[in-house]
Amino acid sequence: MYLYDEIDQKLVDERVVQFRDQTRRFLAGKLSEDEFRALRLRNGLYIQRYAPMLRIAIPYGLLSTKQLRKLAHIARTYDRGYGHFSTRQNLQLNWPKLEETPDILAELATVQMHAIQTSGNSFRNITTDHFAGVAQDEIVDSFAWCEVIRQWSTFHPEFSYLPRKFKIAVNGAKSDRAAVAVHDIGLHAVKDAKGEVGFKVLVGGGLGRTPMIGFVIREFLPWPHLLTYIEAILRVYNRYGRRDNIHKARIKILVKERGPDKFREEVEAEWAHLKDGPSTLVAEEIARIESRFTRPSYAKLPATDPGLEAALGSDRAFATWHARNVFPHKKPGYAAVTLSLKKTGIPPGDVTADQMDRIADLADRYSFGELRVSHEQNLIFADVRQSDLHTLWREVKALGFATPNLGLLTNIICCPGGDFCSLANAKSIPVVEAIQQRFDDLDYLHDIGELDLNISGCMNACGHHHVGHIGVLGVDKNGEEWYQIQIGGNQGEIRPGVTASLGKVIGPSFARAEMPDVIERLIDCYLARRDSDAERFIDVVHRIGVEPFKEFVYGNADQRPAHRRGQLAAA
């Protein structure tokens, strides 16, 4: 954890006072709906379908057990006893009371938390690789860089009223586990020939209505220039980004309309003024930030644990879980463990207050009192001794978080959808459940292998459907909920050579009841066409294209109209 100093704390406390005053003035009729809206959104407060929704920031997904217990307490005291971990590594409460939100923020401030800029047209939570600091392919520990950017982007006086929301992701490892190519700014740490750290800077990626892969504005930005360069990008965006149409206001549209080269020129011209200015970072500051992070005091352990080896040999269920949900660690004798929040029948990312307390107890016992939230909506214990894995697995299993489906079809990323969200065109959670029920046979699931299935209830794409190997989008047709399918999306270069890509729509949409069948047909096509077990769904789509899948799902061209009529009749 980054531990606040007195100034960090004071700013968060002052934010609570400010928002309390704003809420009071709104309730007293002194602030209009519209004016208060802009203010409450930048404190994470939405007015949703049934009640307000409060989005609490979990900076770069890192959480202490003390904080998790506080979240449990808040969920129990001010809400209905549960919370929802989101794809932005935040926690959402779906039933708080507007007049109590200042109290919630005050409670959060006591554990160095807040809801600052979790919504509104400003910088959102900086996200990163959930294996930061422990991955074997680490280039830098991205947490420190995320904190540098968090501080710079918090209450930025010039950039607090941007044309639209702004999302920054940082990846510090060779594999991109932070989806940097689909962010407004993506930063991928790299080292040059001399071993100096810098960042590959991508701009203009994003999902939503106009999905785009970011373009590389700089192959190598030496780290001291990180903030001045971002500042130059933001100044160009703040001045020239479109404000006439909310759907064209993201930076990706500016990049597209200007053209990447012209955009780069403008940024470089602006940067010429800012470069080497006072915001230029210095090594002492990076060291200071790093020193304020708590770090596990690792024991010196052998690389392998005989007890673990024995358990893997004798306990098949444990071995299955270990193969999927345990990630190798850079320190010998340790491992990172994913607690799956994707159990069939539970909305993805949902955790009850009691479960939060239990998870906090486990993290205290097994992982140095810290945990992470992944953008895939799971929880990570990053620093578990290999010798503890078997015991931990039993405990996690008892809590229902040991579904061995990480990276598999049922590890579905999903937004809250029409059950909660007022923007949604369609429900997403019941679709997830139906698909999880259809694919509940673990052997079959493991045979299918790695597959990202992402579901969004509307084109705002909170469920990241464009970058799912299979993406599902809820659409509204004359007041009815339908689901459009796309395939071939990929969130980032998690494996070398398979870069980030956007899915292609395979054809007309489907009724909800058809969804498990349709997914199964896509899987059947994949299984029939793959060269070997090693060739994943996404690899096959990239190799043979979308057309064979289309035919498998809709029948060939002659059969399509009849199939379609049948579908419509069924609906």
Residues of the shown chain interacting with other proteins in the complex, contacts defined by CB under 8 A: 5, 7, 10-11, 14-15, 18, 22, 31, 35, 38-39, 121, 151-152, 154-163, 235, 238-239, 243, 273, 277-279, 281-282, 284-285, 288, 291-292
Residue closer to other proteins by CB (options 282, 303) is: 282
CA distance 18 to 34: 18
End-to-end alpha-carbon separation of the chain, Å? 51
DSSP assignment, residue 96?
Answer: -
E strands, 142-296, in order: 168-171, 185-191, 197-203, 215-222
Closest by Cα among 100, 151, 111, 123 to 41: 123
Shortest Å distance, C-beta 304 to other proteins? 38
Find tokens 């982007």 and name the residue.
153
Task: Provide the pairing of β-strand 168-171 with 370-373.
Answer: unpaired
Shortest Å distance, C-beta 25 to other proteins? 8
Shortest Å distance, C-beta 430 to other proteins? 36
Shortest Å distance, C-beta 232 to other proteins? 11
Q: Which long-range contacts does 228-232 make (Cβ < 8 Å, 24+ apart)?
A: 228/271, 228/274, 228/275, 228/276, 228/277, 228/279, 228/280, 229/201, 229/267, 229/271, 229/274, 229/275, 230/149, 230/152, 230/168, 230/185, 231/274, 231/279, 232/267, 232/268, 232/270, 232/271, 232/273, 232/274
Residue closer to other proteins by CB (options 120, 204) is: 120
Give 379's strand partners: 339, 373
- Report which residue type is found at 317: A
Shortest Å distance, C-beta 236 to other proteins? 9
Residue closer to other proteins by CB (options 241, 503) is: 241
Shortest Å distance, C-beta 241 to other proteins? 9
| Tally of CA atoms within 13 A in the half-sphere of 464 that contains its CB | 28
Task: Provide the pairing of β-strand 215-222 with 197-203.
Answer: antiparallel
Q: What is the number of other CB atoms lying within 10 angstroms of the CB of residue 533? A: 10
Residue closer to other proteins by CB (options 13, 535) is: 13
Residue closer to other proteins by CB (options 164, 324) is: 164
Residue closer to other proteins by CB (options 31, 502) is: 31
Residue closer to other proteins by CB (options 274, 341) is: 274
Residue closer to other proteins by CB (options 100, 285) is: 285
Shortest Å distance, C-beta 36 to other proteins? 9
Residue closer to other proteins by CB (options 65, 121) is: 121
Q: How far is residue 224 from each of residues 230, 318, 399, 414, measured CA to CA in Å?
A: 12, 46, 45, 37
Shortest Å distance, C-beta 46 to other proteins? 16
Shortest Å distance, C-beta 181 to other proteins? 27
Q: How far is residue 100 from each of residues 20, 22, 49, 566, measured CA to CA in Å?
A: 9, 13, 18, 51
